[in-house]
């Protein structure tokens, strides 16, 4: 599969300008592994305004022996004697003699791994024979132990260092579009950008080597990650990939970027990380109104962790509007997981309260469990009713929710909307206006979309609320609701 060269326009222009300068200094192209140093150098030479009087010398490191990288330019059996300075001068003369008066244009790839003698020859070629020297090098973390062989170029007169930036989201989208033969859904491109850190090498390995390109499906004229991965279809993720994907999912979820969260979770599942992202993935789908998809994710990937059990109860209770089943999920979890019993019971109390389900709830001291404390406070706020009596409870709940944005970023927007509503009902217009100043549809990242989603879920009484969506091919997956007897009416 061909891999296109995209972007780097500014760097190419700066490299091209070097050929028009009189006696330019060495140019170092620096970037971490996979950032495309070698590709950029090759592309720059292909576009360079070379003349018949230029001789391109392509060099690579060949070991620690003196002049190892230049052996191909020296006569068979060539041996140097004398001091290092004399040896460098001798080799420089031999190389220049082979060029027959042409200007050397040196392209030294991975020069940070070269022997110091070869690099000194390049400096002398520049000083004595007007050579144009380009060298690629990794960042400081990839340098070998001992003296840096590039110091003699780095501190030479007129030397400059060009650092390769990470690819932008638009550049990643451009590469994917050219590779796949069509435009790519923005959320999919954003997910791949976030998971690779904009590193071209990592992107290539993921799309081409690991075969993700074959898993991209065409929908509505745009390529996107396949709707759902049964789990572990791609290459197993290593430590670095796992950490990068986990961080990317956490960041997107905390920003409440539901579309990107979903795409990143699909990618994580493809790498066999579905279990760790299933609770977040299911919640993101639920908030997008895709209850059927959320059910399938939980059934395919989720374990019995507290996060997964609470997500399961939310999907069953709010998405399917089966409060009895959600109640049973949390009650069973509280019985089997004593350590998180307070959290499950507090979540149950909140879920029953927010859905207006009459029941006798059991609450225990949350202790140091902040999530249990939050659900408990939110349940008390709902029980306080609407208007003035709920304001103080909602403010306390909101303060607790702000401290848990990383774990439950959906809670603050939901509580903020409740607080604004309570203030308006209490006639405290100025306070409501102040709260709403940065909480509206036009304020990106404020969570307004989540507040609207919760309002829709709570308003859909008696309805499933699920929407498999075109991308899910109508596959709802099995019903996760446990079999429970009908609830008896409370006396």
Question: How buried is residue 22: exposed, middle or buried, by Cβ count under 10 Å (0-12/13-18/19+)?
Answer: exposed
Q: Who has greater pLDDT, 38 or 387?
A: 38
- Write down the pLDDT at residue 481: 33
Phi, psi of 414 (to 5 degrees): -60, -45
Average the pLDDT over each of 368-372, 429-433, 438-442, 484-488 and give the range with the smallest value.
484-488
306, pLDDT greater than 90: yes
Res 219 pLDDT > 90: no
**Model confidence pLDDT, tens digit, residues 447-456:** 888 889 988 8
Average pLDDT over residues 438-445: 77
325-345 pLDDT, tens digit each: 999 999 999 999 999 999 999
Instruction: Evaluate if residue 308 carries a pLDDT over 90.
Output: yes
pLDDT score of 444 more than 90: no
Structural element, H or E, at residue 398: helix 388-402
What CATH class has 9-163?
alpha beta
Q: What are the contacts of 321-326 at 24+ separation with CB within 8 A?
A: 321/355, 321/460, 321/461, 321/462, 321/463, 321/464, 321/465, 322/481, 323/351, 323/352, 323/355, 323/357, 324/484, 324/486, 324/487, 325/481, 325/482, 325/484, 326/351
For residue range 171-185, what is the model confidence (pLDDT) as tens digits?
Answer: 999 999 999 999 999
- Provide the pLDDT confidence category of residue 211 given band limits of 50, 70 and 90: confident
> In the numeric block, which tokens belong to residue 69?
């990288």
pTM value is 0.76
Backbone φ and ψ for 169, nearest 5 degrees, come out as: -60, -40
Greater model confidence, 3 or 193: 193
Question: In angstroms, what CA-CA distances link 292 with 45, 131, 472, 473?
Answer: 54, 66, 9, 11
Is residue 463 very low, low, confident or very high in pLDDT (cuts 50, 70, 90)? very low
Position 141 pLDDT exceeds 60: no
Q: In the prediction, which pLDDT does 205 show?
A: 87
pLDDT digits (tens, 9 = 90+) for 269-288: 888 888 999 999 999 999 99
Percent of the chain with pLDDT over 70: 88
Share of the chain above pLDDT 90, in %: 53
Mean per-residue pLDDT for 140-158? 73
- Residue extents of the structural domains in the chain: 9-163
pLDDT of residue 343: 95
What the block records as the tokens of 209 is 């080597």
**Measured between alpha carbons, how far is 248 from 197 in angstroms, rounded to an integer?**
9
Residue 381: is its pLDDT beyond 70?
yes
Mean pLDDT for the chain overall? 85
């Amino acid at each position: 599969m061909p891999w296109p060269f995209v972007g780097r326009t500014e760097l190419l222009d700066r490299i091209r300008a070097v050929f028009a300068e009189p006696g330019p200094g060495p140019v170092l192209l620096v970037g971490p592994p996979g950032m495309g140093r070698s590709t950029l150098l090759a592309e720059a030479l292909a576009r360079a305004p070379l003349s018949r009087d230029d001789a391109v010398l392509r060099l690579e490191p060949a070991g620690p022996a003196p002049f190892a990288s230049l052996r191909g330019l020296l006569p068979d059996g060539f041996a140097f004697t004398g001091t290092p300075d004399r040896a460098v001068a001798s080799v420089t003369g031999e190389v220049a003699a082979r060029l027959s008066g042409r200007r050397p244009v040196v392209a030294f790839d991975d020069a940070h791994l070269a022997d110091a003698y070869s690099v000194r020859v390049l400096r002398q070629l520049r000083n004595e024979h007007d050579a144009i020297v380009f060298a690629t090098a990794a960042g400081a973390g990839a340098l070998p132990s001992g003296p840096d062989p590039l110091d003699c170029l780095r501190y030479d007169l007129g030397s400059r260092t060009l650092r390769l930036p990470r690819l932008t989201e638009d550049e990643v989208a451009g590469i994917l579009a050219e590779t796949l033969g069509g435009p790519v859904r923005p959320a999919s491109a954003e997910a791949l950008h976030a998971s690779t850190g904009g590193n071209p090498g990592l992107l290539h390995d993921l799309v081409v080597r690991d075969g993700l390109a074959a898993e991209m499906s065409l929908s509505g004229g745009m390529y996107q990650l396949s709707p759902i991965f049964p789990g572990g279809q791609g290459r197993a993720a290593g430590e670095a990939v796992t950490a990068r994907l986990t961080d990317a999912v956490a960041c997107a979820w905390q920003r409440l970027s539901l579309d990107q969260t979903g795409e990143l979770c699909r990618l994580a599942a493809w790498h066999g990380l579905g279990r760790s992202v299933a609770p977040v993935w299911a919640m993101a789908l639920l908030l997008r109104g895709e209850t059927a998809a959320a059910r399938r994710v939980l059934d395919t990937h989720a374990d019995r962790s507290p996060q997964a059990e609470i997500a399961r109860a939310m999907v069953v209770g709010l998405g399917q509007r089966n409060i009895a089943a959600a109640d049973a999920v949390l009650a069973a979890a509280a019985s089997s997981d004593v350590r998180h019993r307070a959290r499950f019971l507090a979540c149950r109390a909140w879920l029953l309260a927010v859905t207006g389900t009459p029941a006798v709830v059991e609450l225990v001291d949350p202790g140091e469990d902040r999530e249990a404390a939050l659900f408990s406070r939110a349940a008390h706020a709902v029980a306080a009713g609407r208007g003035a009596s709920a304001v103080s409870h909602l403010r306390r709940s909101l303060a607790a929710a702000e401290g848990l944005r990383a774990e439950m970023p959906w809670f603050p927007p939901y509580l903020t909307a409740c607080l604004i509503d309570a203030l308006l009902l209490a006639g405290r217009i100025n306070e409501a206006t102040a709260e709403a100043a940065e909480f509206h549809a036009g304020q990106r990242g404020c969570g307004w979309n989540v507040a609207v989603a919760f309002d829709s879920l709570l308003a859909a009484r008696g309805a499933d609320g699920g929407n498999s969506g075109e991308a899910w091919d109508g596959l709802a997956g099995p019903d996760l609701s446990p079999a429970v007897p009908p609830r008896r009416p409370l006396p």
